């Protein structure tokens, strides 16, 4: 095991193993990570709320009742869109700065039962509306590879926390790419689970079925272990994903061969007028070659979505942004882009909303049929490289801001419509190892298992773990 000053370089599973063996105490492990939060959070904007006292108290109590969970004793963090009882949960908004839930989200309950210890609530844009992370509470989440750049969103704070070793694995969520986008720009592995795999209850809404919760990590096995914790139905859930066979786990699939797979690939966005950055295409080609070297069959395929999905998504997203009712005084506290989304949503008629949801469902069915011949589909994650924090400034026309976001979600949001599982992998860096550029793999409905097995194979063939030791931070 590494010395105590390098505990953060261990994976989540390695940290849990060290705790079980008595090589490190839970309190020591939590103190180490809290010290890193203190060192880096102010500059990089990982957290909205830190909970060091609660974390140390939980660590001390857990030390005397360790159990066999794969992640017992591991520090983590919860995205600030998800309720945590007794802890401020702001949804990234000044309008909810004083909001303290009395009930945990089911995902938080599951993480606590597994013995993970939250160090606080991670940074998110207001209501998770944007593909960058910035708000009026703590400011932007900055890219660990270059702090002048955005960390992506909406799970940008979670990505920063993991990439900098503030926690080894973190809770995140994804409504249009919010796990895969920050995974790409921060060089992480992330899983957007199938619709219904992780419960959003008891307070989470399912107005559109777009949003899901999942893990961000530095390794495939860590993400699989956290997905095992998060996954499972709860009473009243409106959606459900077919469970794994009895006795199987997602972590177990990370240790299995995926076999020889047929993989379709495309790199043309459904949205019209977008040009894919050459570096994003290079990452996609690099992944294609690696998959072929591993014995898989990689075939070009047409983009399985049409341009009409953009209007459907925008209409549904605008209505979903109204999920937090506010009086006029609190509405005035919202940021310009959030207000623009909500103003648009208020103008959507019931007929238009029903047409948008129906349109998404029809497009999803067509896409699932079109991709059925393939075990997995490969795409770029983004159509652009990370942008400067100021690129998403909200002081001007909100429509300009929204247009700038389109290159970040063009490949990701369609699979929120279909509900298929998707992962983001850090297989490629720009020249000189300067910036990570992710690619995405999409699985068949409810088939996270194949994605995890294939991702683990790719990680073994082209490991990325050691790159984090070279992050340009002191």
The CA distance from 183 to 191, in Å, is: 9
3-state secondary structure of 151: coil
The CA distance from 165 to 145, in Å, is: 13
E-only strand ranges, 99-208 = 117-122, 142-143, 146-150, 169-174, 189-192
3-state secondary structure of 163: helix
The CA distance from 168 to 170, in Å, is: 7
Look-up of token digits 């040009």: 275
Instruction: Please provide the distance, in angstroms rounded to a whole number, between the alpha carbons at the two ends of the chain.
Output: 22
**Which residue is catalytic, options 107, 178, 321, 440?**
178
Is 79 a catalytic site residue? yes
The CA distance from 184 to 438, in Å, is: 4
Q: How many CA within 13 A on the CB side of residue 237?
A: 20
DSSP 129: -
Which H or E element spans position 319? helix 309-320
- Of 313, 238, 210, 300, the C-alpha closest to 270 is 313
Is 21 a catalytic site residue? no
The CA distance from 360 to 311, in Å, is: 10
Is 288 a catalytic site residue? no
Q: Which residues pair with 121 in a beta bridge?
A: 49, 78
Q: How many CA within 13 A on the CB side of residue 154?
A: 24
3-state secondary structure of 197: coil
The CA distance from 410 to 388, in Å, is: 19
φ, ψ for residue 434 (rounded to 5)? -80, -55
**Which residue is catalytic, options 79, 150, 200, 440?**
79
**Which residue is catalytic, options 150, 154, 217, 321?**
154
**Which residues belong to the active site?**
79, 154, 178
């Amino acid at each position: 095991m590494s010395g105590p000053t390098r505990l953060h370089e261990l994976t989540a599973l390695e940290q849990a193993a060290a705790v079980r063996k008595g090589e490190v105490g839970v309190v020591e492990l939590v103190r180490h990570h809290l010290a890193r939060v203190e060192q880096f959070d102010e500059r990089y904007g990982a957290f909205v709320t830190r909970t060091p006292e609660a974390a140390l108290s939980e660590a001390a109590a857990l030390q005397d009742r360790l159990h066999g969970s794969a992640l017992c004793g591991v520090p983590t963090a919860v995205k600030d869109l998800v309720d945590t009882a007794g802890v401020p949960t702001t949804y990234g908004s000044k309008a909810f700065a004083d909001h303290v839930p009395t009930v945990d989200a089911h995902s938080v309950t599951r993480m606590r039962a597994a013995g993970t210890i939250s160090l606080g609530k991670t940074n998110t844009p207001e209501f998770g509306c944007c593909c960058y992370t910035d708000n009026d509470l703590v400011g932007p989440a900055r890219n660990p590879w270059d702090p002048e750049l955005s960390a992506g969103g909406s799970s940008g704070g979670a990505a920063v926390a993991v990439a900098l070793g503030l926690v080894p694995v973190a809770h995140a969520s994804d409504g249009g790419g919010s796990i895969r986008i920050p995974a790409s720009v921060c060089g992480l592995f992330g899983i957007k689970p199938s619709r219904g795999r992780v419960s959003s209850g008891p307070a989470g809404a399912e107005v559109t079925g777009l949003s899901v919760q999942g893990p961000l990590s530095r390794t495939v096995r860590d993400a699989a272990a956290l997905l095992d914790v998060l996954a499972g139905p709860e009473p009243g859930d409106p959606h459900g994903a077919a469970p794994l066979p009895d006795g199987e786990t997602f972590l177990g699939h990370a240790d299995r061969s995926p076999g020889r797979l047929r993989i379709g690939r495309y790199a043309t966005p459904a949205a019209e007028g977008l040009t894919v950055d050459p570096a994003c295409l290079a990452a996609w080609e690099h992944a294609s070659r690696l998959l072929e070297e591993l014995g898989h069959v990689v075939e070009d395929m047409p983009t399985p979505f049409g341009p009409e999905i953009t209007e459907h998504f925008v209409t549904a997203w605008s209505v979903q942004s109204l999920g937090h009712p506010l009086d006029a005084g609190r509405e005035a506290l919202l940021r310009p882009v959030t207000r623009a989304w909500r103003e648009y949503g208020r103008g959507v008629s019931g007929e238009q909303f029903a047409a948008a949801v129906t349109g998404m469902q029809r497009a999803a069915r067509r896409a699932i049929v079109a991709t059925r011949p393939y075990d997995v589909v490969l795409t770029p994650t983004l159509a652009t490289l990370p942008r400067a924090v100021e690129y998403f400034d909200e002081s001007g026309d909100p429509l300009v801001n929204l247009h700038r976001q389109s290159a970040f979600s063009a490949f990701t949001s369609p699979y929120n419509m279909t509900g298929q599982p998707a992962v983001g992998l850090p297989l490629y860096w720009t020249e000189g190892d300067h910036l990570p550029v992710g690619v995405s793999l999409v699985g068949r409905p409810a088939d996270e298992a194949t994605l995890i097995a294939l991702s683990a194979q790719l990680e073994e063939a082209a490991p990325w773990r050691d790159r984090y030791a070279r992050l340009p931070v002191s």
